[in-house]
Amino acid sequence: MRGDRVEIVVDIGNGVQTYEIEATRAGRRVEVTTGRGIVEVSEVTRGGKAVRTGRFMTARVVALVEHPAEGELDVGPRRTRRAVRGQSSLL
């Protein structure tokens, strides 16, 4: 969802550096995956295409903080029912 962002704090040897990846447009989301010593944070479109990706070594990641979009509650997927033409609603 637009406004979702992930903040990654990485150890750079003589301190830490902070990176942020944010869902910049409506319909985009931020996904975090881990595996084989790599943390990957991607901004993904509705169709699943990665727009922006950051890869970090797991051993160097100090903190990974997910910030949901402000002002909207994430209550899960919305499910609506549409009446089929010629049939009445049973609700």
Sketch the domain layout of the chain as residue ranges: 5-60
Give the residue among 68, 51, 67 at the shortest CA–CA distance from 18.
Answer: 67
Whole-number pLDDT of residue 39: 94
Instruction: State the pTM of this model.
Output: 0.70
Edge to edge, what strands does the sheet with 38-44 contain? 29-35, 38-44, 50-57
- 3-class DSSP assignment, residue 90: coil
pLDDT of residue 79: 55
Mean pLDDT for each consecutive 10-residue tract of the chain (91 residues)?
86 93 88 93 92 93 88 55 53 49
